[in-house]
Structure 1
Amino acid sequence: MSNNQAWDDEYEVVVVGSGAAALAGAYSSARRGLKTLLVEKTNLLGGASAYSGASCWLPGTQVQQRADVEDSSESAKAYLKAVMGDHEVERREAFVDTAPELVEFFESDPAIEFYWTAFPDYFNAHESKPLGRSMMPVDLPREEIGELADLVRPLVEYDRYNQPHPEGPLTAGQALIGRLLLALTNTGNGTIQLETELVDLVTEDGRVTGAIVKDAEGIRRIHATEGVILGAGGFEANQDLRTVNGTPGNSGWTMAPAGANIGTAIRAGQKAGGAVEQLHQAWWCPGAAQPKGNAAFALGFRGGVWLDANGKRFANECLPYDQMGRVLAAAPERIPSWFIFDSRFGGQMPGIMRPFNTSPQEHLDAGTWVKADTLEELAAATGLPADALQASIERFNGFTVTGVDEDFHRGENPYDQFFADPEYGPGPTLIPVDQAPFYAARMVLSDLGTKGGLRTDVDARVLREDGTAIEGLYAVGNTSASFSGGFYPGPGTPLGSGMVFAYRAAQTLKAPAQAQSV
């Protein structure tokens, strides 16, 4: 688009998307006095962030200090080095160094408040914290946010089943989105447009100067005098892109909201000259197959065993969900696999599923679960080899007597024990599978979003193949390639890092002279 073409509207900053990273970028920009427009493709704000438990992995902050939790930026850096080696040292250290500043900035706004919550780091490595480094947003009473609450995407249990917002305060991911939304609105510098889709970016003389969007009235050209921040999620719901990029899993099994996260912003950034990387990566998790063909995020197993198509056990079932997802992706016979448990749990799966709306009977009626009086009958119902299934269960049951998992060391690290019930056996994560009737739940590979995307620097500026930055263009959250690469260091790494880099992006923008000092 040439310089002499007219714009339909003008802002200093245009933000695409409305998850935690996008809202953090919009709020950070607006609070600096910049006239900011946030556009969201769907009719609700929050994306997959609204579905989340809202743990935010932000080390060494005032939130940990208030809770008397021993942590520091130096400790977090040592932990990340132990986990990640030399991968992305510059960006990960910028993330850790900025986390305390981000939290102080956020909590200086009365609309935003966090509290520390125990949740172990995901690797039992040097300087890992058995109780973690994560924080969560304080629940947000509806009377504080008012009618804005209706703009926030409901929790996954309600959204996927087309249920209205529940009564009571906004919690978890809804609270995070609600608090950022309230803070953005209170700046007086933010405008939000729903059902407004990014079509393309406008580039002039190598600089991104605006966005072309489509809404109910048609195509509009929006001038962004200071910059465009892309925070519209990944491409997890686009099966064609998953196939081309060799991204394990399936678009039908992802946790992405309907109609979102198909890679539009990533492709727009590529068209503007941005390089991409890590497109085969995702924030993986086990998925419990659902009657409608989709999957529920599954974690926190405290009993049962996983068997592959050969009837063989293949992992520590208590692994952190991303690590378990990577184990699933490593061999075709593990997708689908079967999670075997017995009747001591009252017919309920001994783990956590999100969403959790589907009852055991609905699963049994649909065939996503099967039930049998003997292990031999269970093998017939699942199609697993009977001899292998029985041998796998017998071997595991032997470990429950000694309390030592000789095959996969289940129960030997803090994360394993976090969800365990100590009333069971000498090793509380090792509970026998020996009480009929027996159950088997069909499991697949799900994800919380792809984590490959536009290559960025420490300030979230989109980079070209030659490493130079595209002026005026930023990418955050899952629209950018994550600094963590093939690792998921701790609960809330996607949310924490997405917000930090969005904040850093906003600090590089030219603020008006009268802007509030931050």
Structure 2
Amino acid sequence: MTHRQPTTSEDEMANTHNSWDQECDVLVVGSGGGALTGAYGAAARGLDTLVIEKTAYFGGTTAYAGAGLWLPGNPAQERGGLTDSADLGRAYFRAVVGDATPHELQDAYIDNAGETVAFLEDNPHVRFEYRPFPDYFAAPGRFDAGRAVFPVDLPAPVAAHPLLDAIRLPAWAERLGLPIPDGPLTDGRALIGRLLLALESTGRGRTLLNTALTRLLTEAGRVVGAEAGHTGRTLRIRARRGVLLAAGGFEANAELRREWQGLPGADWTMGAPGGNTGQALLAAVEAGAATALLDEAWWCPSLRFPDGSAAFTLGLHGGIFVDGSGRRFANESLPYDRMGRRLLAAKAGTTPDNPVWWIFDGRFGDQLPGITVVPADRTAFTEAGLWHTADTLGGLAERIGVDSAALRSTVQAFNGYAADGVDADFHRGEDPYDLFFAQGGGANPCLVPIEQGPYHAVQIVLGDLGTKGGVRIDARARVLREDGTPIPGLYAAGNTSASVSGPTYPGPGAPIGSAMVFGHLAALDLAGQG
């Protein structure tokens, strides 16, 4: 894809400043965790801040998330009795990420993680708590029980509240067309709600929904504002201090995914619908931004749905994954991004005609032996050919089109490993993360034998939680040109930027946690405190 650069004359003509529709100190594009952290940070420091959100809902994909935040050495960990530090986090992060991203960028993330939490918790609307969830790699500095903190549940408003009422629904409710659940806001919705309340409390934060960025406006090489579509017209928005792009990745853009990632389309992402088309990234490229990691995503195995979409699946406590040959190819209990990368490496589950099958037995009844963020209706899945059942393994193999002898041999070997307690092929159950979700008994609770008919096979494909390639940024979240110099007035965080973790996913909450830290750093720089 060719991205046309505007000529100098076009640039000058587009930016005569007698026709601004809106003015602010800081324009924030997006409304996920990174965007709202940056918006609150700017507004709390006295800057007039405008948040624009492309869709009708606040929160982006953050609203779907469990909202664990990987932020080493923060006050919420200390309150929870966990002793962590930036140095411990750095040792682990460096061991996992290595030289895949600049060390100064990694240090900016790690060294400012605790400060970000402390700054946010200075506002009475924001509160976090520690909950166990293991780090994803066996490396120095790892916490086997995890170091992630989560937003405390937010009580539902007792009356209509224009901000809280516009938070995106949980993924399961939105995908299935169900009403807003009763009770408090939890997980990612609690994080978005708390950040929106904090922003509102400053008296300097404004929001516009249904407002889609179309281009950045520059003057003499500096970003001075943006154009955005809103209710059928174009708004020209002046940003006196600068623009923070935190609008997610390009996971919903099928053309870009084919071009940059070699995937057939964009149907299997968990990105929130209506956004995440890469427009912020493309606008930054047109303004001269350099990019990196465009072939990367936060991968995950996903359950394929009858409508062609897919839903994030994790925490297996039963069954095995087999490819088209009827054989296992990985430890099914791996952390989800690592399992997604095994799917990529095996070239399995990446297109509709090379599915992976989740094989399990009748002991689980009509329930899937794992966690899917959107529940599956067995009848609908069976009718769509995505859930097959047979009284024998041979009959199941025939239904899913794999070699019967290979599938029987695979299951026989796995059952032997379950009896012995040792997975000789892929070492399932030997890592704290594997055991975190285990529910079985015996010598190895991760290895539940497949021996009670009827037998089931459910289709699994390669999904993602969003792309992680985007514009290059520095340690102050400033967007960089190809020559490494910053573009004045332009900042980025979250999946609009190239991830600080490179091609790895170190632990629960690294995507949102790093987005929040770089949103925080952008606000500091915009306020002249960086």
1:122 maps to what in 2? 136
Q: Can you give the 5+ residue segments of structure 1 that lack an aligned partner in the other structure?
A: 512-516
Alpha-carbon distance change, 145 to 14 in structure 1, aligned in 2, over 3 angstroms: farther
Contact 1:249/1:329 (8 A) holds in 2: no
**Is the CA contact 2:42–2:527 (under 8 Å) kept in the aligned structure 1?**
no
- Matched AA of 1:70: T
Q: Which amino acid aligns with 2:183?
A: G
Counterpart position of 1:396: 414
User: Is contact 1:310–1:333 with CA below 8 Å preserved after alignment?
Assistant: no
Aligned partners of 1:249, 1:479: CA distance in 2, in Å?
22
Q: Does 1:196 align with 2:214?
A: no
Kindly indicate whether residue 264 of structure 2 is the aligned counterpart of residue 254 of structure 1.
no
Q: Residue in 2 aligned with 1:514?
A: none
**Sequence identity, in percent?**
50
TM-score between both structures, scaled by the size of structure 2:
0.94
Matched residue, 1:154: 169
| TM-aligned CA deviation for residue 291 of structure 1 | 1.2
Cα contact 1:34–1:189 (8 A) shared by 2: yes
Superposition deviation, residue 292 in structure 1: 1.1
Task: Give 1:162 deviation, angstroms.
Answer: 2.6
Deviation at residue 9 of structure 1 after TM alignment: 1.9
Q: Hey, what does 2:524 align to over in structure 1?
A: 507
Q: Distance in 1 between matches of 2:289 and 2:281?
A: 9
The answer as to whether partners of 1:56 and 1:495 remain within 8 angstroms in 2 is yes
Q: Which consecutive unaligned segments of at least 5 residues does structure 2 have?
A: 1-13
Query: Is the aligned partner of 1:216 residue 2:235?
Result: no
Q: Deviations over 1:412-460 (max 9, x none)?
A: 0100000001x52210001100100000010000000000000110111
Residue 176 of structure 2: SS of its match in structure 1? coil
Say which of 232, 249, 253 aligns to 1:238.
253
| One-letter identity of the residue aligned with 2:428 | R
Residue 353 (structure 2) pairs with residue 353 (structure 1) = no
Change (3 A) 1:31 1:383: same
Provide the C-alpha distance between the structure 1 equivalents of 2:262 and 2:38, rounded to a whole number of angstroms: 28
For the residue of structure 1 that corresponds to 2:157, the secondary structure is helix
CA contact (8 A) 2:15 2:217 kept: no
The residue number in structure 2 matching 1:343 is 362
**Counterpart-to-counterpart distance in 2, 1:29 and 1:54:** 22
Deviation string for 1:459-504 (max 9, x for gaps)?
1110000000000001110000001011000001000000000000
Aligned to 2:491: 474
In the TM superposition, residue 4 of structure 1 has moved relative to its aligned partner by 4.7
Q: Spell out the pairing of 1:83-482 with structure 2 (5 A cutoff).
A: 83-88=96-101, 89-143=103-157, 146-147=160-161, 148-248=163-263, 250-335=265-350, 336-356=355-375, 358-421=376-439, 423-482=440-499
- Gap change, CA 1:412 and 1:250, over 3 Å in 2: farther
**How far apart are 1:347 and its partner, in Å?**
2.4
Moved more, 87-96 or 8-17: 87-96
- CA separation of 1:303/1:4 partners in 2, compared to 1, >3 Å: closer, same or farther? closer
**Structure 1: which amino acid aligns with 2:405?**
D
CA–CA distance in 1 between the matches of 2:17 and 2:149?
49
Offset at residue 80 of structure 1 (A): 1.1
Range with greater deviation from structure 2 (278-287 or 62-71): 62-71
Contact between 1:247 and 1:281, CA under 8 Å: does it hold in 2? no
- Classify 1:337/1:366 alpha carbon distance in 2 versus 1 (closer, same or farther; 3 Å): same
Shift of 1:331: 2.6
Higher mean C-alpha displacement, 139-148 vs 392-401: 139-148
TM-score, normalisation: structure 1: 0.96
Contact 2:214–2:229, Cα closer than 8 Å, also in 1: yes
Is the CA contact 1:145–1:178 (under 8 Å) kept in the aligned structure 2?
Answer: no
* Cα distance per residue 1:55-83 (max 9 Å; x no partner): 11111111111111121111111111211
Q: Does 1:484 align with 2:501?
A: yes
Question: Is 1:24 matched with 2:37?
Answer: yes
Instruction: Please say which of residues 462-471 and 134-143 is displaced more in the overlay.
Output: 134-143
Number of equivalenced pairs:
511
Task: Please give the secondary structure, in 2, of the residue aligned with 1:129.
Answer: coil
Alpha-carbon deviation of 1:163? 2.3
For 1:84, give the aligned amino acid: V
In structure 1, give the amino acid aligned to 2:26. Answer: V
Per-residue CA deviation, residues 325-361 of structure 1 (Å, 9 max, x unaligned), is 00101132444110100011122111000112x3222
Structure 1 segments, 4+ long, off by >6 Å, are none
Do the aligned partners of 1:372 and 1:378 also contact (CA within 8 Å) in 2?
yes
Distance in 2 between residues matched to 1:359 and 1:443, nearest whole Å: 15
> Which one-letter code corresponds to 1:33 in the other structure?
G
CA RMSD of aligned residues (A): 1.4
Residues 248, 280 of structure 1: 8 Å contact kept: no
Moved more, 118-127 or 5-14: 5-14
Q: CA deviation at 1:118?
A: 0.2
Is contact 2:255-2:265 (8 Å) kept? no
What is the CA distance between 1:86 and its match in structure 2? 2.3
1:381 partner SS: helix
CA distance in 2, matches of 1:354, 1:217: 35
Contact 1:403–1:427 under 8 Å retained in 2: yes
Q: Distance in 2 between matches of 1:100 and 1:281?
A: 27
Is the 2:313–2:370 Cα contact (8 Å) retained in structure 1? yes
Q: 1:347 to 1:4 in 2, by over 3 A?
A: closer
Structure 2 residue identity aligned to 1:101: E
Q: Secondary structure at the match of 1:338?
A: strand
Q: CA deviation at 1:10?
A: 0.9
Q: Deviations over 1:162-183 (max 9, x none)?
A: 3221111100110010000111
Greater mean alpha carbon deviation, residues 68-77 or residues 402-411: 68-77
In structure 2, relative to structure 1, the CA distance for the partners of 1:388 and 1:62 (3 Å cut) is: same
* 2-structure distance, mates of 1:220, 1:378: 57
| 8 A contact 2:100–2:503 mirrored in 1 | no
Contact in 2 for aligned 1:199/1:211 (Cα 8 Å): yes
- AA matched with 1:418: F
